[in-house]
Amino acid sequence: MLSLPGNFLQCYDCPVSKSIEDCQSQQTLINCSDATRACFQTSIKYDNSSYKRESHDSGCVDKSQCDRYKKGDIGDCNDLKTLGFTVECLSECCHEDGCNKENLLVKSKCPAFVISVTILLPSLLLVLVNIY
């Protein structure tokens, strides 16, 4: 259900954690402020030659920030790049109550598999028909 004007959007919030599983095990449902109209999840992986780490976070964000977040334009990521780290930043926003409870950053590979099978199966059948 979408949040109506004047109502608080509810998002899952977790402290910055080492893994998405740690984040999810510590998350709590919070009310976002009126100006904040999106829930988010962020994963940051960073390393240099001697240091490697990742962090995960979720909570509320102003929905005007979602396009920047999706492109990896996140304050912590930019700061780490400035310090010389190799950085991979992933983030997704969603706009319904509690929508960031599950991992938003895992993309399903099923559609690509289904498309591949749909294209290859008729070709295989055509080859088999021509052989016999």
Q: Which CATH number fits domain 10-106: 2.60.40.10, 1.10.1660.10, 3.40.50.700, 2.10.60.10?
A: 2.10.60.10
Q: Give residue limits of the domains in the chain.
A: 10-106
Q: Is the pTM of this model over 0.75?
A: no
Q: Hunting for tokens 């988010």 — which residue is that?
A: 40
> Distance of alpha carbon 10 from its chain centroid, rounded?
17
The answer on pLDDT for 130 being more than 70 is: no
Residue 90 · residue 72 · CB < 8 Å? yes
Per residue in 34-69, pLDDT (tens digit) is 767 899 999 999 998 888 899 999 999 998 999 999
Per residue in 72-123, pLDDT (tens digit) is 888 889 999 999 999 999 999 999 999 999 999 886 444 444 444 455 556 5
